Chains A and B, each alone.
Chain A
Amino acid sequence: MIIKCLALALFVWPVPAVAQQDVHIAYLGLADDAYYDAQPGYTGLSLRDRKRPIDGARLAVKSARTLGRAMGVQIFLDEHILPDGSDMLAAATDLANDGVFAILLDLPAQDMDSVIASPYKMPTLFNIRHVDDRYRGADCAPALLHTIPSRAMLTDALAQYLRYQNWTRVLVLHGADPDDAAETITVQNSAAKFGLRIVGDREFTLSNDPRQRDLNNILLMTRQESYDVVWLIDAVGEFGRYVPYAIAEPRLVVGAEGLIARAWHWTWERNGAPQLNQRFRRLANRDMESEDWAAWAAVQALVSAIAASKAITPQAVGDELRSADLSVDLYKGVRGNFRNWDGQLRQPILLGTHNAVIASAPLDGFEHHADRLDTLGFDQPETDCLLAQ
């Protein structure tokens, strides 16, 4: 530690004798990405209001100005929002050849898959959007780091809370969306991991057809078993929003409604979070969402790596990003760094309602031989990622 600190201590005079090195970070996205479209229900109301998280990245670059000055580095965020049909792999390769230090990937799954499968040497690719566990497992890639938590981390966090509260009998309700199928498997894994008992698992359908009452009548679906809590899995959200207070038993709903696991919360009060939330609000005029935080954390991690790196090159900084000694302030009270078996950023997960954080996982009492944060998500012995790290 001390040797590293001595190497880092800079004595910078404010005269322009210091050579400024330029560091470029690319943000790669698709212009008419359906992911950001409003999602009107049959009444025309939209339940979804996703904003491109580039504001998070912009905030981190802005905040790093002074540190950049002290390091002799000027950081640029280059925004590449490309039209429909663009070859994202070609675009990413061009960026790599231009010497960018990292690419933040805000791409649909198909484009993401083609970029991370690149045969060319890539700078660090940051996954700031996809929670799918496969990107940390069988579909991992050497250049890929994830700042958004995996689905497994989110369901593990909620499962820890249920275990902690002793609400161990769980009724699962899930929809027919492919994301719901993936999440159901993850929920089952988390339940097994933390000793919860899934007493029932019902699929629901958005319909009013009385012949399908077994699939659409909330009372009927929730009065057959005894349970402590309902775990709702509903990526679309149209059915799920009617579940709380409508179930047969006076029980809480968690998962997609009620108590929700997130990477970030606009009301998080600890660890300096109000300052980050206020800075984001001033820049973007809206609350910071989990994806905004993930984009912010990617740039934050890169800046921390630059500060700690011996040389300021994409390769050296990329190595520093993967170092166990990396210390990123995530504003969640821990030193963040990346798991060396799957490139996932270790981080606490916030369990919150619409306007408060009720708990932060890992909960007190959940232990681990090396790092308590690794009780969330895929631990080293469980990983399907076969890269030799």
Chain B
Amino acid sequence: MHFSADRSEFYVACADDDQIAIYSTAELTLLRRIRSVPAPETFDLHPDGRRLIVSNEEDATASVYDVESGEFLTDYETGEEPEGVQVTADGRLVFVASEAANLVHVIDLEADEVVADILVDTRPRRFALTPDQTELWVSAEVAGIVDIIDVATLKLVGDILFTPTGLRREQVTPVDIVMTADGTRAFVALGRANRVAVVDVATRSVIDYVLVGKRAWGLQLSADESRLFVANGLSDDLTVINTQSLEAITSIPVGLVPYGILIDDH
């Protein structure tokens, strides 16, 4: 899910229906659909506010659509099961993670081609860019780590291993990553570990682990960053964390198998 550039609309990828549904944020009504988008899994909105770059999970491609006209613009070949999509703030590069191929593909939108394939650890899922755009963080779900790529050189420069007490390595399956706007802190949903890791970005060290619900996947920070919301895929609820005290305040039952979160609080 994503807001439009002015947040008046939001977009939802409907993989089983091969379409992107567009809703009014204020009215929560369906406005229109972009149809014939092959199995859209994840997507990112280009800074120009017009282009949507979508990973097509079943087709090993990433495709670009005009969000106003619904027109298909172009696509790029990726490895199997592309998921995470991340556009740089200057709109020049798009990163796409291909889960099955353990690759991060780098698409140069101006050159209109894939310019690099970076081998990362097993099953890369989602991205976060540091606010200064120098580092790309990618979660490697099966490997249980977050890989860190230097954007300038497109090389792996580090990684973070998560070791919550009492859990085996295979029980830690990181998925979503969010960073604070000042780039000092990152939060990583650890999937099967049922926890969220709190990471100091500069030192790449884990400050704390916060226990949430079953299979923590999607994350979202409130606008003032005082609250972190966690979608727990296997307990059908949402956990709310106080980001100052790093404590879980409450968990709220939601619908079946919650996946991602969008907050209308600007």
CA of A2 to CA of B147 in the docked complex: distance in angstroms? 9
Q: Assuming A9-B155, A278-B58, A334-B170, is B119 touching A272 (CB within 8 A)? A: no
One of B58, B80, B103, B113 near A70 (C-beta < 8 A)? B103
- Residue in B closest to A70 when the chains form the complex, CB atoms: B117
Instruction: Name the residue in B99, B100, B116 with the highest tally of chain A Cβ atoms < 10 Å from its Cβ.
Output: B100
- Is B84 located at the chain interface by the 8 A CB criterion? no
A10 (CB) vs chain B CBs: closest residue: B119
Chain A residues whose C-beta falls within 8 Å of the C-beta of B117 in the assembled complex: 10, 12, 66, 69-70
Interface residues of B in 94-143 (CB under 8 A from A): 98-103, 113-123, 142-143
Cβ contacts under 8 Å, A334 to chain B: 142, 170
Interface residues, chain B, with chain A CB atoms under 8 Å away: 57-58, 60, 77-81, 98-103, 113-123, 142-143, 145, 147, 154-159, 161, 168-170, 173, 192
Task: Give the residue of B58, B155, B192 whose beta carbon is less than 8 angstroms from that of A275.
Answer: B58
Q: Are B114 and A5 in contact (CB under 8 A)?
A: no
- Identify 12 residue pairs between A and B in the complex whose beta-carbon atoms are under 8 Å apart, listed by A's number: A5-B121, A5-B156, A9-B118, A9-B119, A10-B118, A13-B115, A66-B98, A272-B81, A272-B99, A272-B100, A335-B143, A372-B170
CB atoms of A66 and B142 under 8 A apart: no
Specify which of B57, B142, B147, B154 lies most central, judged by the most chain A CB atoms within 10 Å of its CB: B142
Question: How distant is the Cα of A272 from the Cα of B81 in the complex, in angstroms?
Answer: 9
Would B100 and A6 count as touching, CB distance under 8 A? no
- Number of A interface residues in the complex (CB < 8 A): 31
Option from A69, A70, A327 in Cβ contact (under 8 Å) with B122 = A327
Chain A residues lying within 8 Å of B154, measured Cβ to Cβ, are: 11
Residue contact A66 to B119, C-beta cutoff 8 Å:
no
Which A residues lie within 8 Å of B113 (CB)?
A: 14
Chain B residues lying within 8 Å of A10, measured Cβ to Cβ, are 117-119
Write out the residue numbers on chain A whose beta carbons fall within 8 Å of the beta carbon of B161: 1
> Which of A5, A13, A275 has a CB less than 8 Å from the CB of B81?
A275
Bitwise interface map of A from 1 to 35 toward B, beta carbon under 8 Å scored 1, else 0? 11001101111111000000000000000000000
Residues of A66-89 contacting chain B, CB below 8 A: 66-67, 69-71
CB contact under 8 A between A5 and B103, given known A66-B78, A333-B192: no
Cβ of A69: which chain B residues have Cβ within 8 Å of it? 117
Having A10-B118, A307-B119, one finds 16 other A-B pairs with CB under 8 Å, namely A1-B159, A9-B155, A10-B119, A12-B116, A63-B79, A63-B100, A66-B78, A66-B98, A70-B103, A272-B81, A275-B58, A275-B80, A279-B80, A327-B143, A333-B170, A334-B170
B80 contacts A6, CB within 8 Å?
no
Contact present for B159 and A5 (CB under 8 Å): yes
Residues of A near B81 (CB, < 8 A) are: 272, 275
